[in-house]
Amino acid sequence: MKVLVTGANGQLGSEIKELSVNFPNHQYFFEGSEGLNITDAKEVEAYIESKEIDIIINCAAYTQVDKAESEEIAAEKVNAGGVKNILKVLENRNGKLIHISTDYVFNGKNCVPYKEDDKIEPIGVYGKTKRLGEELFLSSEVEGAIIRTAWVYSSYGNNFVKTMIRLGIEHDGLNVIFDQVGSPTYAKDLAEVCLKMLDFNFKGKQEVYHYSNEGVLSWYDFAKSIMEIGNINCNISPIETKDYPTPARRPNYSLLNKSKIKKDLAIEIPYWKDSLKKCIKEIKK
């Protein structure tokens, strides 16, 4: 198949590009926003038709959670409008879509891991616009899957792990939130799942899946582990969400139930700390 990966310069797109050599059965096209503007319907149509794309892994997204609160139109243009443009062309080509979404479509008030069919209730602009993208996909005729993920990090791009390493080296101590709980996602692990899903037989269906690494922790626990594994001498102190106000509210509980994706793809999901060790090793190369 001819596979297009949008958002190819981001964390997940970069990891997919790196791992795609291990999945040589397909021909890949990797495009960032400068190579393909998904908000331009004509450009999307011309690109997909000329390259005869069979399946798209859509990693392109407006992900600046706080900025989205004051830039709703810009966020919606990418997270919903861009998806609409992709779907329109794929419908005409009988193409498939693997669309990356987020735990932010939930309100974060659960006390058990979120299942795919749990109530949708975004609490901010980012989550609302990502949900709009999901709804467009689910109301289309395009086969494929939505993969909701959370707390993504990688040796590529900007993320919590790289920020903590930098700040930990610069400072003797840092305050980190302890009352937001979830499980991080090493983008390399998710990239492998996306590539495996290319050969999945959707049988005319649209699936919704959840994926993050195994385990449960707070941002505080995550930061502590980053310092320990990275051998960085920085004291991490726990604080409450209310002590670190941001323009956008964050879900207090982001844990995702991964039973469905483990069963359907027959995969084992790595424990978060094992994946963190691998990523920090990559960062320190």
Q: How many angstroms separate the CA atoms of 149 and 189, rounded? A: 11
Structure tokens that stand for 14 in this block: 């970069």
Going from the C-alpha of 237 to that of each of 55, 66, 175, 224, the distances in angstroms are 45, 23, 5, 9
Active site residues: 126
